[in-house]
Amino acid sequence: MSTAGMVILGAGECGACAAFALRSNGYDGPVTLIGNESHLPYERPPLSKTTLVDGAGHKPVAPIEAYREAKIDVRLGVMVDSISLGDSHLSLSDGNRISFEKLLLATGARPRRLPGSEFAHGRVKYLRTFDDAVDIRSSIGPVRRLAIIGAGFIGLELAATARSLGCDVTVIEAQSRVLQRGVPEAIAAVISARHLQEGVVLRCGVGISSLIETETGVEINLADGTEFTVDTVVVGIGAMPNTALAEAAGIDLDNGIAVDETLSTSAPNVFAAGDCCSFPLPVYGGRRVRLEAWRNARDQGALAARNMLGANEVINSIPYFWSDQYDLTLQVAGLADGAATTVRRDVDGDAFLLFHLNADGVLVAASGIGRGLTVARDIKLAERLIASKVVPNPVALASPDVRLKTLLAG
């Protein structure tokens, strides 16, 4: 049994950020970071893009030398069998036990499985890990036929990357349009048009009747009677939080591991952060959400570390998402569902922003799309407006001649 200290379960972006934040906030006791993958913690956004394009290795959050210098004990390729809250320890698959003073659960999420998609030939795939990306990379290229099930961020990013590599790509989405969850229709329409321009076949509003895998391909039968065959299928229909260990330990769940505004779970000295947890957002009246986003993982990792050391800080971040597809970047800040009014602002070229106001005129979300970083600065300013619960003048919001910074000052 090792000396009790700070233990982080989950060696992803969130867990790694938490480990380094413990050190930067002055903690000098033992810090142990445990992960079930064999790789050092790495960035996940490149997996659907550059990792597939150039076959490059994973992009680590930090090199191994940084962990050694910070005296962070990184244990990779290790499974945790159970969490014992009574005597504060973890039982590992290799027979060892680790005691903890404070525990952070940063166990992330796993792909939602498509019923009936477990096949022997490995032609139906999922993208979550670096090893998944390497596997998919070997299956795409010129003259290859790829079907992607699910038109969310991951599915569409993968579609764009596969087209750049010469793949024939068909995207199948049961909802009536792409990016149904969290992205306004006007922005989704721009993304759809660009995929069609690039030669992607979009099949929205139709379900799958069956997938039949053979040694040479996958036969797809759609609910509308369409039948076609591809070489590979990648399923991207969302993710599910990894909560099994927490549930077995008796920790409360609510669409993930339930935490309060400080990321504390129902168990003393146990925190949770990142994709695996649901939390209340004060700026939205305590509405409970679960976010699968790069920046949320980083922010919550750092916040959890400070609160493990007694800071007792409350979550104050605004949900933020982005996606790069071809030369377009879309960005979303805040939660737009339930907005009563949407105001459009045209900016450089064909880029535009949408500002979403509730029934009281409060700005609750903003979204935008353009080439490169065209809308980035305005989205960042919009985050500040949302956090301040500003009631902006809709005419001023619509005018590109009015700087958003002046609305914040007002």
CATH of the domain at 103: 3.50.50.60
Burial class of residue 31 (count of CB atoms within 10 Å of its CB; 0-12, 13-18, 19+): buried
pLDDT of res. 409: 73
| Residue 50 in domain | yes
pLDDT of res. 344: 97
Averaged pLDDT for residues 351-378: 95
Residues 225 and 142 in one domain: yes
pLDDT of res. 349: 85
Averaged pLDDT for residues 98-116: 93
Residue 269: other Cβ atoms inside 10 A:
13
Residues 341 and 262 in one domain: no
Residues 24 and 93 in one domain: yes
H/E stretch holding 257 reads: strand 257-258
| SS3 at position 352 | strand
Averaged pLDDT for residues 369-376: 94
Q: Which of 154, 149, 127, 156 is nearest to 139 (CA)?
A: 127
Residues 214 and 255 in one domain: no
Which pLDDT tens digit goes with each residue over 141-177?
898 999 999 999 999 999 999 999 999 999 999 999 9
Residues 105 and 37 in one domain: yes
- pTM of the full structure: 0.95
Residues 10 and 22 in one domain: yes
| Residue 226 in domain | yes
Which pLDDT tens digit goes with each residue over 231-244?
999 999 999 999 99
Residues 284 and 348 in one domain: no
**Per-residue pLDDT for 377 more than 90?**
yes
pLDDT of res. 54: 76
pLDDT of res. 3: 65
pLDDT of res. 384: 95
**Per-residue pLDDT for 315 more than 60?**
yes
pLDDT of res. 342: 97
Cα distance between residue 67 and residue 383, in whole Å: 33
Q: What is the 8-class DSSP label of residue 250?
A: T
Q: What is the 8-class DSSP label of residue 262?
A: T
| Residue 316 in domain | no
The whole domain housing 231 covers 113-235
Averaged pLDDT for residues 268-283: 96
Averaged pLDDT for residues 318-345: 94
Q: Count of domains in the chain?
A: 3
**Per-residue pLDDT for 287 more than 70?**
yes
Residues 119 and 85 in one domain: no
Comparing 262 with 57, the larger pLDDT belongs to 262
| Residue 59 in domain | yes
**Per-residue pLDDT for 1 more than 60?**
no
pLDDT of res. 121: 82
pLDDT of res. 58: 75
| Residue 317 in domain | no
Cα distance between residue 260 and residue 283, in whole Å: 14
Sign of the four-CA dihedral 271, 274, 275, 281: positive
Comparing 2 with 190, the larger pLDDT belongs to 190
Percentage helix, strand, coil for the chain under 3-state DSSP, each rounded to 5: 25, 30, 40
**Per-residue pLDDT for 2 more than 60?**
no
Sign of the four-CA dihedral 300, 301, 302, 305: positive
Identify whether the C-beta of residue 98 lies closer than 8 Å to the C-beta of residue 91. Answer: no
pLDDT of res. 212: 92
Question: What does pLDDT average to over the chain?
Answer: 94
CATH of the domain at 331: 3.30.390.30
| Residue 396 in domain | yes
Could you say which of 277, 308, 339 is where a domain stops? 308
**Per-residue pLDDT for 140 more than 80?**
yes
**Per-residue pLDDT for 78 more than 80?**
yes
β-bridge mates for residue 34, sequence order: 9, 75
High-pLDDT (> 90) share of the chain, %: 88
pLDDT grade, residue 48 (50/70/90)?
very high
Residues 117 and 231 in one domain: yes
